[in-house]
Amino acid sequence: MNQLHQIEFQSPIGIVEITGTDKAIRSILFSEKSKVSAPISPESPQVLKDCQQQLEEYFKGQRMDFTVACESTGTDFQQKVWTALVDVPYAETVSYGAIAKAVGSEKAVRAVGNANSKNKLNIVVPCHRIIGATGKLTGYAGTLPRKEWLLRHEKACRENQSIEQ
């Protein structure tokens, strides 16, 4: 089993914890308080450093897509949902129903919501872009105020065309 490493940094919407192996990111989660004594060290795997850099670029409005290697564990259905989430364009939203249809399980709206809630790769796998059928912001493990901030941030960056690809 690969050893897990963790770093964290302060984002505009709270502390972001990045956990991964030497080869891939396993989780990107928000935390209410610091759990790591040092934010980053020279011994931190390059993939964690790259992930932090890409997330910082995202928060500055300089990145829309992520290239960092990620690993996620879940059921086949959850993996399909997470793959569909990555296909949701930057600054756009889709409903849980649209994701259910995209993965070939049109009636599995609640199961999509459940898979969404199990996503441990926040922002990189953009579960914040999924909304209710009525357009209402619904559940987000990172808190609804963060979801709202992320959506506003992406729309503002797209409208200002300050994104460099």
3-state secondary structure of 126: coil
User: How far apart, in whole angstroms, are the C-alpha atoms of residue 10 and residue 34?
Assistant: 9
Please enumerate in sequence order all residues whose Cβ is within 8 A of that of 83, keeping only pairs 6 or more positions apart, or say none. Answer: none
Contact 15, 33 (CB under 8 A): yes
**Consecutive H or E run containing 130:** strand 130-131
**Distance from CA of residue 102 to its chain's centroid?**
19
Contact 36, 7 (CB under 8 A): yes
Asked about 51 being catalytic, the answer comes back as no
How many CB atoms sit inside 10 A of residue 101's CB? 17
- Residues designated catalytic: 127
